[in-house]
Structure 1
């Protein structure tokens, strides 16, 4: 039987939107907390959670918070050693958050998110420690994905035609708020891209409200030969690979900018009131982002996570000291064991799916190469067939001409034989034939003539003459 979890930590946040950064944050926190607290159970909570699964939640949907109330908070925090609250600095704009969920503002207000993220944690703190995470976990994104995984995902993006296989990429993301500056932004981007032949623009749809419309309008204004598009169904590993291998990332999301800076990539903020110029893009490309930002954000996040781990460890120890029922402990241990097996099975399935996706991409790449080779072979065979058909046509034409010539000669000979001259000169030709035979015959042998009869004249003329001699009259 496996040991129970060292501690249980509940993490609150808006993890159930379609935004890339909202899907990235819980995975980073789960990885960092488990690295500090081996065996810890991390439970994520979000306004809608599993009631609104997203393509980027990795199959690990958050628990739904529901409407705030002290009783609801007590139910959710029961059995937790610590509660970690994120997304409060600053708290997301309510109207924008409602559009991210695809609901009206009034529907979102019914959940009373301020109670969960701002006022409620203080009340829950009476039962277990509640900590507000001041840093943004996305600054630790480079630790989540290995370089080998990012390389594989980049090859997948090349294969799908979503990312330039060579040259420098400018990844651009935006939302509906940037629609008024699309013409100016397109003009500046076009001028920047034209300054260097290897620059390409990648329009990324990262889940912000109106990002598809923004990408479509910007794509219509940019030169198509330098344009690529990362669709809205791309996974967070694909997006991370695109950002990590870019030259510049430009967008309206502050958190996407943090991810770009964490990977050491230049960041250009897009604002509805001001549009960056091509000179600003050029300066951003020449600037060392690592030197500009430094490790301060990551160091601050690490320090906070270390403190959270220590608080959770102490709280878990305190809770275990209060446990008096061994039977209840046994039941909880068995439940934890089952959940642990399920989690191991889920992780194995996730790895298998990722491997299958990579294998499929490799097979697809090989199939495309084989198809190209077969197309070349078909083209070569078609060319040889054309040459063979041409030679056959020439041979057939020569055969037909030779047959026509022979037929003409036969017809001419038949016409000659049918003339009176040919019939009237039959005797003359017979005599001429005999004379020739006499001239060509060998000397006569000694003996009686009866012993050596003269050879018969086989020519038709001789036959005709003999017939004429024997014919009466």
Structure 2
């Protein structure tokens, strides 16, 4: 197979591909790519990060919380070159080990060759930085809602053996909220343990030294960022040049997504309040049906976003767009002169 870091036409803006497992429901599957993206963009403002996963958006779930990941597809030379042409660096960040049997997780082993490639790989438990993902006040609001919905008990509780189960069919923010509010977490999942330790919750399970892991995690992400910058220069990029329109659009989209998440949180609170205020079982069932309808609409929105992303990616790969790139680059240089 070709090296996905091989020479190709330079992209117009710094770009990184994260090959993860965000199409799986585990806490680590959801936390790791989010932490890595956030930390990389802090170090590389204006860059573009694209998520990939074995099945990606073809298998959406509530657990992914709207994180759009492109399916890796078949490991052909053409597919690998397509990814290589669109980014400067690919990073493996899946929670399963290199060489793992993916059939048990996905029902197919098609993506195994992707994760056998010699690429930069996350080797530190990045869930130790989970406390940077969600503000404390949002965690508190989500905890209150989970209690009102009956997902969490009132008062102190323990997550794990002989305690409550970590809510399953909820977004990653809800899972982190449940962990943050717990008196103790009993688990053998290293990602749950690391997230709990980062959020200040007592952990019974894998030993987590937060200070050491945080230092190692940030050091590894620093190395990824440096490698990405070197790859950009090697492929004819300019570290001092950023495409202002793309950077502004990226920032605007992220802001809009954050506001959408806040609005969804607010709307869920209104729905919960109505549910609690309902006096008869018929009203309760009606409101539960409304909640299920909202979830259905959310899944449809994710599917539409995936389709839009698929069309945009296809456009980027058209011959007209690729062949006109040198002309557009020359025009940009003339305008800046």
**Which residue, 105, 114, 117 being the options, matches 1:116?**
114
Closer, same or farther: CA 49–295 of 1 in aligned 2, 3 Å: same
CA offsets 1:393-421 (integer angstroms, 9 cap, x no match):
xxxxxxxxxxxxxxxxxxxxxxxxxxxxx
Quick check: 1:8 aligned with 2:1? no
Closer, same or farther: CA 112–21 of 1 in aligned 2, 3 Å: closer
Mapping 1:201-212, distance limit 5 Å: 201-204=163-166
Deviation at 1:145, TM superposition (A): 0.7
Q: Name 2:335's counterpart in structure 1.
A: none
| Structure with greater helix percent | 1
CA offsets 1:110-168 (integer angstroms, 9 cap, x no match):
x151x2122x23xxxxxxxx42222122211100111011011111112112212322x
- Report how many aligned residue pairs link the two structures: 268
**Which residue, 229, 241, 254 being the options, matches 2:177?**
241
Quick check: 1:91 aligned with 2:91? no
8 A contact 1:50–1:61 mirrored in 2 = yes
Closer, same or farther: CA 354–264 of 1 in aligned 2, 3 Å: same
> Which segment drifts farther, 55-64 or 237-246?
55-64
Q: Distance in 2 between matches of 1:132 and 1:255?
A: 17
**Which residue, 226, 229, 232 being the options, matches 1:310?**
226
**Which residue, 121, 132, 146 being the options, matches 1:132?**
121
Q: Name 1:197's counterpart in structure 2.
A: none
Closer, same or farther: CA 369–46 of 1 in aligned 2, 3 Å: closer
8 A contact 1:15–1:22 mirrored in 2 = yes
8 A contact 2:19–2:92 mirrored in 1 = yes
Q: Name 2:332's counterpart in structure 1.
A: none
Gap runs ≥5 in structure 1:
122-129, 173-184, 190-200, 205-229, 271-288, 323-328, 373-473
Closer, same or farther: CA 166–5 of 1 in aligned 2, 3 Å: farther
Q: Under a length normalisation based on structure 2, what TM-score does the superposition of the two structures give? A: 0.69
**Which residue, 49, 60, 70 being the options, matches 1:63?**
70
**Which residue, 318, 338, 348 being the options, matches 2:256?**
348
Q: Distance in 1 between matches of 2:276 and 2:95?
A: 48
Q: Distance in 1 between matches of 2:99 and 2:192?
A: 15
Q: Distance in 1 between matches of 2:32 and 2:210?
A: 21
CA offsets 1:35-82 (integer angstroms, 9 cap, x no match):
111111011111111222222223232111122233321111113111
Mapping 1:281-320, distance limit 5 Å: 293-320=209-236
CA offsets 1:268-303 (integer angstroms, 9 cap, x no match):
349xxxxxxxxxxxxxxxxxx8xx624111110000
Mapping 1:448-459, distance limit 5 Å: none
Q: Distance in 2 between matches of 1:247 and 1:363?
A: 28
Higher relative contact order (CA 8 A, sep 6+): 2
CA offsets 1:396-453 (integer angstroms, 9 cap, x no match):
xxxxxxxxxxxxxxxxxxxxxxxxxxxxxxxxxxxxxxxxxxxxxxxxxxxxxxxxxx
Mapping 1:49-448, distance limit 5 Å: 49-87=56-94, 90-91=97-98, 93-94=100-101, 97-101=102-106, 103=107, 108-109=108-109, 111-113=110-112, 115-118=113-116, 120-121=117-118, 130-167=119-156, 169-172=157-160, 189=162, 201-204=163-166, 230=167, 232-269=168-205, 293-321=209-237, 337=246, 341=249, 344-345=252-253, 347-362=255-270, 364-365=272-273, 368=276
- Which secondary structure does the structure 1 equivalent of 2:155 belong to? coil
- Which secondary structure does the structure 1 equivalent of 2:182 belong to? coil
Deviation at 1:340, TM superposition (A): 6.3
Q: Distance in 2 between matches of 1:367 and 1:142?
A: 31
Closer, same or farther: CA 91–269 of 1 in aligned 2, 3 Å: farther
Deviation at 1:241, TM superposition (A): 0.6
Closer, same or farther: CA 92–344 of 1 in aligned 2, 3 Å: farther
Gap runs ≥5 in structure 2:
1-10, 281-337
Deviation at 1:251, TM superposition (A): 2.7
8 A contact 1:152–1:358 mirrored in 2 = no
8 A contact 1:21–1:255 mirrored in 2 = yes
